[in-house]
Chains A and B, each alone.
Chain A
Protein backbone atom coordinates (compact mmCIF):
# COMPACT_ATOMS: atom_id res chain seq x y z
CA UNK A 1 0.00 0.00 0.00
CA UNK A 2 0.96 3.65 -0.37
CA UNK A 3 3.31 5.26 2.14
CA UNK A 4 1.61 8.26 3.70
CA UNK A 5 3.62 10.92 5.53
CA UNK A 6 1.77 13.38 7.68
CA UNK A 7 3.28 16.33 9.48
CA UNK A 8 3.52 17.72 11.99
CA UNK A 9 2.99 14.63 14.10
CA UNK A 10 1.89 16.78 17.01
CA UNK A 11 1.61 20.39 18.01
CA UNK A 12 0.46 22.56 20.85
CA UNK A 13 -1.12 25.78 19.69
CA UNK A 14 -2.55 28.93 21.16
CA UNK A 15 -6.22 29.75 20.93
CA UNK A 16 -7.05 31.84 17.87
CA UNK A 17 -4.12 30.68 15.77
CA UNK A 18 -4.19 28.44 12.69
CA UNK A 19 -2.20 25.33 11.81
CA UNK A 20 -1.68 23.65 8.46
CA UNK A 21 -1.22 19.89 8.36
CA UNK A 22 0.45 18.30 5.37
CA UNK A 23 -0.16 14.88 3.87
CA UNK A 24 2.28 13.49 1.31
CA UNK A 25 1.82 10.18 -0.48
CA UNK A 26 4.58 8.33 -2.27
CA UNK A 27 2.38 7.49 -5.26
CA UNK A 28 -0.57 8.99 -7.08
CA UNK A 29 -3.86 8.15 -5.41
CA UNK A 30 -7.41 8.53 -6.55
CA UNK A 31 -8.93 9.85 -3.38
CA UNK A 32 -7.68 11.65 -0.29
CA UNK A 33 -9.66 12.32 2.85
CA UNK A 34 -9.32 14.20 6.10
CA UNK A 35 -10.72 12.85 9.34
CA UNK A 36 -10.89 14.00 12.93
CA UNK A 37 -10.79 11.69 15.93
CA UNK A 38 -11.65 13.33 19.20
CA UNK A 39 -10.54 11.73 22.46
CA UNK A 40 -12.33 8.46 23.08
CA UNK A 41 -14.32 8.76 19.87
CA UNK A 42 -14.26 7.11 16.48
CA UNK A 43 -13.29 8.79 13.25
CA UNK A 44 -15.40 11.53 11.71
CA UNK A 45 -14.93 12.51 8.08
CA UNK A 46 -14.21 16.20 7.66
CA UNK A 47 -13.97 16.33 3.87
CA UNK A 48 -12.87 14.67 0.68
CA UNK A 49 -9.94 16.49 -0.87
CA UNK A 50 -10.51 16.88 -4.60
CA UNK A 51 -7.58 17.39 -6.91
CA UNK A 52 -7.77 20.74 -8.63
CA UNK A 53 -11.10 21.79 -7.15
CA UNK A 54 -12.77 22.65 -3.87
CA UNK A 55 -13.01 19.94 -1.23
CA UNK A 56 -16.33 18.27 -0.48
CA UNK A 57 -17.21 18.93 3.16
CA UNK A 58 -19.35 16.84 5.44
CA UNK A 59 -22.20 18.20 7.49
CA UNK A 60 -20.86 20.25 10.37
CA UNK A 61 -17.58 21.19 8.68
CA UNK A 62 -17.06 24.32 6.61
CA UNK A 63 -14.36 25.62 4.35
CA UNK A 64 -13.71 28.75 6.38
CA UNK A 65 -12.81 26.67 9.42
CA UNK A 66 -11.06 23.79 7.62
CA UNK A 67 -9.66 24.98 4.29
CA UNK A 68 -8.19 22.13 2.28
CA UNK A 69 -5.89 22.12 -0.70
CA UNK A 70 -5.01 19.31 -3.06
CA UNK A 71 -2.80 20.66 -5.82
CA UNK A 72 -1.92 17.23 -7.25
CA UNK A 73 -2.53 13.51 -6.82
CA UNK A 74 0.10 13.02 -4.10
CA UNK A 75 -0.32 15.95 -1.72
CA UNK A 76 -2.96 17.66 0.38
CA UNK A 77 -3.13 20.10 3.26
CA UNK A 78 -5.72 20.72 5.94
CA UNK A 79 -5.72 23.98 7.86
CA UNK A 80 -7.45 24.25 11.20
CA UNK A 81 -8.31 27.93 11.49
CA UNK A 82 -8.93 30.17 14.47
CA UNK A 83 -8.43 27.27 16.83
CA UNK A 84 -10.24 26.80 20.11
CA UNK A 85 -9.82 24.08 22.76
CA UNK A 86 -12.70 22.16 21.11
CA UNK A 87 -10.43 21.60 18.10
CA UNK A 88 -8.05 19.53 20.21
CA UNK A 89 -8.07 16.22 18.42
CA UNK A 90 -6.17 13.86 16.19
CA UNK A 91 -6.38 14.78 12.53
CA UNK A 92 -5.83 11.97 10.05
CA UNK A 93 -5.20 11.94 6.35
CA UNK A 94 -6.24 8.86 4.42
CA UNK A 95 -5.96 7.73 0.83
CA UNK A 96 -7.75 5.31 -1.39
CA UNK A 97 -6.16 3.80 -4.45
CA UNK A 98 -8.60 2.64 -7.08
CA UNK A 99 -12.30 2.93 -6.52
CA UNK A 100 -14.90 0.61 -5.13
CA UNK A 101 -14.03 -2.25 -2.81
CA UNK A 102 -10.64 -0.79 -1.95
CA UNK A 103 -9.81 0.11 1.64
CA UNK A 104 -8.46 3.41 2.86
CA UNK A 105 -5.00 3.72 4.34
CA UNK A 106 -4.12 6.27 6.97
CA UNK A 107 -1.26 8.55 7.75
CA UNK A 108 -0.03 8.36 11.32
CA UNK A 109 -2.01 11.42 12.32
CA UNK A 110 -1.44 14.84 13.80
CA UNK A 111 -2.14 15.19 17.51
CA UNK A 112 -3.26 18.75 18.10
CA UNK A 113 -3.73 20.39 21.49
CA UNK A 114 -5.09 23.91 21.86
CA UNK A 115 -4.36 25.88 24.99
Chain B
Protein backbone atom coordinates (compact mmCIF):
# COMPACT_ATOMS: atom_id res chain seq x y z
CA UNK B 1 0.00 0.00 0.00
CA UNK B 2 1.32 3.46 -0.84
CA UNK B 3 2.19 5.80 1.99
CA UNK B 4 0.11 8.59 0.46
CA UNK B 5 -2.73 8.26 -2.01
CA UNK B 6 -4.44 10.94 -4.04
CA UNK B 7 -6.96 11.02 -6.83
CA UNK B 8 -4.89 12.03 -9.88
CA UNK B 9 -7.80 13.89 -11.47
CA UNK B 10 -7.84 15.94 -13.57
CA UNK B 11 -10.43 18.13 -11.97
CA UNK B 12 -11.80 20.47 -14.63
CA UNK B 13 -13.70 23.35 -13.05
CA UNK B 14 -14.92 26.77 -14.19
CA UNK B 15 -13.54 29.96 -12.73
CA UNK B 16 -15.21 30.81 -9.46
CA UNK B 17 -15.96 27.21 -8.55
CA UNK B 18 -15.14 25.57 -5.26
CA UNK B 19 -13.09 22.40 -5.51
CA UNK B 20 -11.89 19.95 -2.89
CA UNK B 21 -9.11 17.39 -2.94
CA UNK B 22 -8.64 14.54 -0.52
CA UNK B 23 -5.59 12.54 0.35
CA UNK B 24 -5.19 9.48 2.56
CA UNK B 25 -2.09 8.29 4.35
CA UNK B 26 -1.20 4.90 5.73
CA UNK B 27 1.01 5.59 8.74
CA UNK B 28 -0.99 6.64 11.77
CA UNK B 29 2.20 7.90 13.43
CA UNK B 30 2.77 10.52 10.72
CA UNK B 31 3.72 13.78 12.32
CA UNK B 32 3.15 16.66 9.98
CA UNK B 33 1.32 17.31 6.77
CA UNK B 34 1.56 19.71 3.88
CA UNK B 35 0.05 20.67 0.57
CA UNK B 36 2.43 21.65 -2.21
CA UNK B 37 1.64 23.08 -5.59
CA UNK B 38 3.62 22.11 -8.67
CA UNK B 39 3.30 23.93 -11.96
CA UNK B 40 4.25 22.20 -15.18
CA UNK B 41 8.02 21.82 -15.49
CA UNK B 42 8.61 23.61 -12.18
CA UNK B 43 9.66 22.56 -8.70
CA UNK B 44 7.06 21.93 -5.97
CA UNK B 45 6.28 24.96 -3.85
CA UNK B 46 4.76 24.92 -0.40
CA UNK B 47 1.12 25.95 -0.48
CA UNK B 48 0.33 25.44 3.18
CA UNK B 49 0.98 23.31 6.20
CA UNK B 50 -1.94 21.35 7.60
CA UNK B 51 -2.67 21.68 11.28
CA UNK B 52 -4.76 19.42 13.46
CA UNK B 53 -7.34 22.10 14.07
CA UNK B 54 -7.59 22.95 10.38
CA UNK B 55 -6.27 26.15 8.89
CA UNK B 56 -7.16 28.70 6.28
CA UNK B 57 -5.08 30.93 4.05
CA UNK B 58 -7.21 33.20 1.92
CA UNK B 59 -9.19 31.04 -0.50
CA UNK B 60 -7.48 27.86 0.67
CA UNK B 61 -8.58 25.71 3.60
CA UNK B 62 -6.73 22.61 4.77
CA UNK B 63 -8.06 20.03 7.18
CA UNK B 64 -6.65 16.98 8.87
CA UNK B 65 -8.60 14.02 10.15
CA UNK B 66 -6.20 11.85 12.14
CA UNK B 67 -8.82 9.26 13.05
CA UNK B 68 -9.57 8.55 9.40
CA UNK B 69 -6.06 9.39 8.22
CA UNK B 70 -6.98 11.83 5.55
CA UNK B 71 -6.13 15.38 4.61
CA UNK B 72 -8.19 17.72 2.52
CA UNK B 73 -7.66 20.93 0.60
CA UNK B 74 -10.53 23.21 -0.34
CA UNK B 75 -10.11 25.96 -2.89
CA UNK B 76 -12.83 28.58 -3.08
CA UNK B 77 -13.49 31.00 -5.93
CA UNK B 78 -11.05 29.22 -8.25
CA UNK B 79 -8.83 31.36 -10.44
CA UNK B 80 -7.22 30.47 -13.73
CA UNK B 81 -3.88 30.78 -11.97
CA UNK B 82 -4.85 27.95 -9.60
CA UNK B 83 -4.36 25.48 -12.45
CA UNK B 84 -1.55 23.20 -11.30
CA UNK B 85 -0.87 19.84 -9.71
CA UNK B 86 -1.46 19.71 -5.96
CA UNK B 87 0.73 17.34 -3.98
CA UNK B 88 -0.23 15.94 -0.62
CA UNK B 89 2.85 15.41 1.55
CA UNK B 90 3.20 13.47 4.79
CA UNK B 91 6.17 13.63 7.13
CA UNK B 92 7.10 10.38 8.87
CA UNK B 93 10.04 11.03 11.18
CA UNK B 94 11.80 13.47 8.88
CA UNK B 95 11.06 11.50 5.74
CA UNK B 96 8.62 13.13 3.39
CA UNK B 97 6.24 11.01 1.34
CA UNK B 98 4.63 12.61 -1.66
CA UNK B 99 1.31 11.73 -3.17
CA UNK B 100 1.18 11.36 -6.91
CA UNK B 101 -0.61 14.69 -7.17
CA UNK B 102 -4.04 15.89 -8.21
CA UNK B 103 -4.23 17.92 -11.38
CA UNK B 104 -6.53 20.93 -11.41
CA UNK B 105 -7.59 22.74 -14.57
CA UNK B 106 -9.53 25.95 -14.02
CA UNK B 107 -11.24 27.07 -17.20
CA UNK B 108 -12.66 30.47 -18.13
Residue with the highest number of chain A CB atoms closer than 10 Å, among B32, B45, B94: B94
- Which residues from 52 to 108 on chain B have a C-beta closer than 8 Å to any C-beta of chain A? 87, 89, 91, 94-96, 98-101
Of chain B, the residue at the smallest CB distance from A93 is B43
Selected from A42, A44, A92, A99, the residue in CB contact (under 8 A) with B99 is A42
Using a CB–CB cutoff of 8 Å, the interface residues on chain A facing chain B are 1, 31, 33, 41-45, 48, 92, 96, 99-109, 111
Can you name the residue of chain B whose Cβ is closest to the Cβ of A100?
B31
How far is the CB of B35 from the nearest CB of chain A, in Å?
10
User: Number of B interface residues, CB 8 Å?
Assistant: 20
Q: Indicate whether B22 reaches chain A with its CB closer than 8 angstroms.
A: no
Which residues of B sit under 8 angstroms from A111, Cβ to Cβ? 41
Interface status of B9 (Cβ within 8 A of chain A)? no
